[in-house]
Structure 1
């Protein structure tokens, strides 16, 4: 068996113990600075390895860590939809703890949906009370979802992150962390229902509903914002369930 691929920078030193951490740090810095945004794809493993002076094995390790943290989603194969796509910006430790709890408990879908209704109704009312709130991250995600080459899985990953971004914009760190922690569960049931619905029609409707949520917030209409989020969450879940 041939030896594992390495480069000199993969070897541990006092100042640079592990090369994958170097990769992780560089990519994270680009995400924090806004050079990499949700919906954008990372360069190929080969390109990252060459640019950062590490072996491809170190790049792969860094990408595995980032996927486990919920920062990106990878898709194997070739073509425009292959590789790693950014789905979130780095967040705090509470989000990771919540995510682990959700994964360990395997909560029922009905519980996740009910929790979303409670949390996101409050989020929308809070946002509508401050219509000048910064929704730039949420809007960036909506713009990314307008890309017609996205697969249904990719679209719905960005969809889940849009809801997290709205919660984050509302400013309640506990609600934002809970929504981020629920993201994997949200993705699970929305992606799992794709085969039971007419996706092109649903995709168009979801784009329209998302824009409507932002419009209700920026107009300062709390009642409308709350009603739209309830209709949005229930509409998808009940539509999928009725065709199950």
Structure 2
């Protein structure tokens, strides 16, 4: 006999169907707990559990009281929830470093190509981080935290919210492997100077609208560090 789904899952599936069928959309308010409970034949505690799951996932926001902002409302851009879920998956599953690097190559290649084709892209944050990385006396962990922030800033500037959310979710895993690798670098000053130069070359290629060059540079940058500190780059 097939196991019956838990009551709160029935609520999730009902709301998912309404979203897929466009009966609900960004900015819409969900039915009240009472109505969902009556319509689906589940207890209000199960409805509340489902709503908590949806809120953690970033798909809704909830507010008590009355008025247009009260209740559970579908969020237009749930990228924060997606990033949080990916961070949890990274922490729980321990994704292989090879897979993280391969994913970076795919995502960041798309990012720099898109930015190079968008002359009006806002790169102010990327330039701010580049400047911060020029500070004297940065410890490897400080420098590499800025490094991760630079790559995330480029993803955010691309305007692709899914890629930006995925990069944000992978940020912990990226910082972890690049920092672990830094302990194997005999001359950190030389490596940090090399990384600065590579970052600036990538941004310069983007600003110059050179998509092919930007793609080649970011691929060499990500793969080169991986090869240097952690062995062979994953095959394409």
2: CA distance, partners of 1:206 / 1:148: 15
Match of 2:198 among 201, 209, 215: 209
Structure 2 unaligned spans of 5+? 1-78
Q: Determine whether 1:123 maps to 2:111.
A: yes
User: Residue deviations 1:184-242, cap 9 Å, x none?
Assistant: 01001100011211211000000011011110001001100100000000000001124
Structure 1 unaligned spans of 5+? 1-90
Secondary structure, counterpart of 2:212 in structure 1: helix
1:98 shift after superposition: 1.7
Q: Determine whether 1:106 maps to 2:86.
A: no
Match of 1:186 in 2: 174
Match of 2:60 in 1: none
Q: Determine whether 1:163 maps to 2:151.
A: yes
Secondary structure, counterpart of 1:147 in structure 2: coil
Match of 2:223 in 1: 234
2: CA distance, partners of 1:194 / 1:126: 30
Match of 2:189 in 1: 200
> For the pair shown, which has the larger CA radius of gyration, 1 or 2?
2
1:93 shift after superposition: 2.6
1:141 shift after superposition: 0.9
User: Residue deviations 1:97-143, cap 9 Å, x none?
Assistant: 22112111110110000000000000010000012310111111111
Match of 2:32 in 1: none
